[in-house]
């Protein structure tokens, strides 16, 4: 199971070759591809400010993915991650904390080009 971060979704929707190729490999491998509500929301914030066709494309792509729940355990994990990174002056944004927590909670790797996620203990990060 692979979770998509906002950076990947935006790159894929913009036709970034490495992201498109990586998604094609996920499809051919029949990987379960999922997204957290936080990453989906970040994507829609960006898409909503542009042309309506970009918003429609983002919505269609997001709806094709498996959606993961942000539950109580995810909240607890977000708190733990935030408290571990804060004293080291390496905080993540709230949205990224939630993305990382949902990934840990559901036990999947996170596909991203955002190097900040590598600081999260126990999180499996894939890049493209």
pLDDT digits (tens, 9 = 90+) for 32-75: 999 999 999 999 999 998 889 999 999 999 999 999 999 999 99
Tell me which residue range forms the domain holding 122.
Answer: 2-126
CATH code at position 100: 3.40.50.1010
Alpha-carbon distance of 86 to 52, in angstroms, equals 38
Helix (H/G/I), strand (E/B), else coil: 124: coil
Write down the H helix ranges in the chain.
Answer: 6-13, 17-28, 37-48, 52-63, 72-85, 94-106
Q: What is the pTM of this model?
A: 0.92
Count of domains forming the chain: 1
């Amino acid at each position: 199971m692979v979770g998509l971060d906002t950076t990947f979704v935006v790159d894929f929707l913009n036709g970034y070759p490495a992201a498109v190729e990586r998604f094609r490999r996920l499809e051919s491998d029949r990987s379960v591809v999922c997204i957290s509500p936080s990453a989906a929301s970040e994507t829609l914030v960006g898409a909503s400010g542009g042309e309506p066709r970009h918003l429609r494309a983002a919505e269609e792509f997001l709806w094709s993915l498996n959606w993961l729940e942000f539950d109580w355990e995810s909240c607890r994990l977000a708190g733990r991650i935030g408290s571990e990174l804060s004293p080291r002056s390496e905080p993540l944004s709230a949205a990224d904390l939630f993305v990382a927590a949902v990934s840990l909670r559901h036990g999947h790797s996170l596909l991203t080009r955002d190097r900040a996620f590598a600081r999260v203990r126990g999180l499996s990060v894939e890049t493209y």
